[in-house]
A and B are shown apart, each in its own frame.
Chain A
């Protein structure tokens, strides 16, 4: 009988009924069956083929050491492959070979160790299961009593619950001392900028030319043929100190529709030029670029969450999670026939935020 905490090997029939009743704790609404079927105890042990057949045992040994030797071969191969398959900057395929052959060597080295060790464990090591006895997780009553006593003694000796002013002032100090650390994190954002102001303006101004993204070359109204679409940035964007932040707000999509297809509200009569319209490219949902233009239906589709905007109805949302239409950039042409903005956007572009109204 070797039921112990050190994995004694002999298995004996568990005295199940006696043990079951000893379980501590309220069973709640569990049904305690009085005449439950008893635990039959451990079945008789069946030896493995490697235990009874010495030929099979030697064979298993051979498999295990062959695998371990194979692992050494894999490691050596990986080192050799590092040298044999260098990356040549003129040959993109060399990266693939380098990755493949170093990887195969390492994989062989690892898998052979792993499979060998598991096979050793399963086929050759002593295979009878052992038993550990469980004890309730809760410690013994003596231990718990002593722990409580220690806390009481500490309380007595320090006067933690008696000297309330001392205790409470300490608690107050402990609450207050991390606060400066939290305040320090204010420095994560720049000091003298108001995010709401920043979010409400882009670099478009009256007279800013519409230019191609990313080259920055200006666009003539006559370049924009019916049915075409242009990815547009404001002129001079690439020369600004922080072009990505500006572009994240100012990116625009330019399309030319048949003026008869456009349903223009009275306030926006002058915002298009001969059916050429410009809309913010930044989705009003969570800010992905609304980059997919369906030429036939004049719908814009956001590839991130599938919001769809109808350009013939001032970029009204016709499907998807976005709520607001894409803001329209009022445009016209300058004296040389280049497309220019009439003003900045008249509302903040991009995703909604709390202070927006």
Chain B
């Protein structure tokens, strides 16, 4: 092998590639970067692709969005539509709406690019959400990655802001009603709401300023922030090195996987094209946001079954779930708790999710670095909290389609709302309980399989007449997956150096007990040896 490859290399020494590389090296010192990152190891697992989907769909968004900016006019100046879409010919509308129609009906491939942009945006938010769930349920947010969790969460919020500002740009009936709701929401904020709305819309709703302002946010400010956050996010991934799942040979001190060059580059680079290709395929076949069916914005008409893009659903749903009458006049001012309650509840939810890594590390007191991912079952309380959070979010999200659920399943709107109210309030507790018990049961099963092997289905009659089922023992590699996890015990309340038990410690001990009182310990060597005797 070596002799055959050495010969062409030697021959190529003076070739163009070598000369170009030398030229660049003399001016950039880039060999250091290649040496540092060229063989960097990345572990392989399907769940690690979710973040990649997010990154790649953002690139698709940038590419398709740049195309759209060459044709879109972010102006609410009134024009008479005179394009190819006959049903709207002669209708008065804004330039924003008219230019969006022109992109769709008069520019070849324009509709395709619009749909690529919208589908990629939906995929962007969805993949960030799934990526965050993967991070949460495997405990990848633990030290040293807490800050990167926060950065990722900020990205999630920025992605939703990008989505909403983009959705509002065509100035069609549906997005106009979305803005109307935002206006109503803002006006419900005490003290500053009225003025914020007035400043945002440049006067009274709807005004003629909002599309231009959202455009600046959508194509300049927010993308710059997203790019900066992505750069920071990836920088931290490089600094921390990627986490990996437990497996034979894998420890907290190593990373097992493929080097960037060539395997990871081929697979990740190829995956970019696959994500891009799937988005284009969706855009070719499936219509998204057919603004020509909605018509230009007008504050008077609205169609039944209006709902926002999926990622704003949870906020819209929260608004729908408030019971009648939650608004009061007090001290000569209007207190709109029908608006404040959703804002506060969602705000608290966001803060709790964003700071969860710090809360958990305060409870465990664990200051070590964690690079091996947990299986969700091995952190039962964390997994149960996650299940509760998902149930809460799903309830709010479903509420955004309460009217469609009612019409599709022949139910009353009131009944659907009341059922979802119950799901949002009680569902998290039920989900917590079920998820925790399922985790503990799975842990017990793992333990029993690790100790006694799995049931082989082979029944053997012993000389004494006794029947037993033979259990096949696991080999050490299979067993390692089941026994290599860490567990925590509840905090023992002890006086500190000054002989005091602080309130903070009491709270921490209480939460710690709630977290870790149901604990399945990993199998130890001694248990394993004792287990040998049984079968």
Contact = CB atoms under 8 A, between A and B. Distances in A.
A89 B510 CA distance: 71
B14 to A, nearest CB: 27
A7 B323 CA distance: 60
A196 B184 CA distance: 14
A190 B364 CA distance: 54
A233 interface: yes
Interface in A281-334: 281-283, 285-289, 291-292, 301, 303-307, 317-324
B448 to A, nearest CB: 15
Given A247-B300, A287-B184, A29 B251 contact: no
Interface in A109-167: 109-111, 113-122, 125-127, 129-134, 136-137
A6 interface: yes
B303 A303 contact: yes
Interface residues of A, number: 123
B413 A306 contact: yes
A303 B403 contact: yes
Contacts of A249: 204
Interface string B110-144: 01100100000000000000000000000000011
B108 A37 contact: no
Contact of A82 (B38, B109, B316, B528): B109
B280 A82 contact: no
B466 interface: no
Interface string B171-205: 00000010011011101111111110111101111
Interface in B348-389: 361, 364-369, 371
Contact of A122 (B255, B267, B274): B267
Contacts of A198: 203-204
B484 interface: yes
Contacts of A59: none
A113 B270 contact: yes
B322 interface: yes
Interface stretch (B25-33, B219-227, B332-340, B432-440): B332-340
Contacts, number: 419
Interface in B481-535: 483-484, 486-491, 512, 516, 521-526, 528
Contact of B263 (A14, A43, A95, A126): A126
Given A121-B262, A132-B255, A286-B185, A354 B486 contact: no
Interface in A12-32: 13-14, 16, 19-20, 22-31
A76 B323 CA distance: 58
B104 interface: yes
Interface string B456-491: 000000000000000000001101100110111111
Contacts of B327: 323-324, 352
Interface string B258-302: 110011101101111111111011011100000000000111111
A353 B187 contact: yes
Given A98-B108, A107-B280, A352-B336, 9 more contacts: A35-B525, A40-B480, A85-B108, A89-B83, A89-B106, A98-B109, A99-B112, A188-B202, A354-B187
Interface of A: 3, 5-7, 11, 13-14, 16, 19-20, 22-31, 33, 35-43, 82, 85-87, 89, 92, 95, 98-100, 102-104, 106-111, 113-122, 125-127, 129-134, 136-137, 185-186, 188-190, 193, 195-196, 198-199, 213-214, 231, 233, 242, 244-245, 247-249, 251, 281-283, 285-289, 291-292, 301, 303-307, 317-324, 350-357
Interface of B: 35, 38-41, 44, 83-86, 104-109, 111-112, 115, 143-144, 177, 180-181, 183-185, 187-195, 197-200, 202-209, 213, 239-241, 248-259, 262-264, 266-267, 269-278, 280-281, 283-285, 297-306, 316, 319-327, 329, 332-334, 336, 338-339, 361, 364-369, 371, 402-403, 413-414, 417, 476-477, 479-480, 483-484, 486-491, 512, 516, 521-526, 528
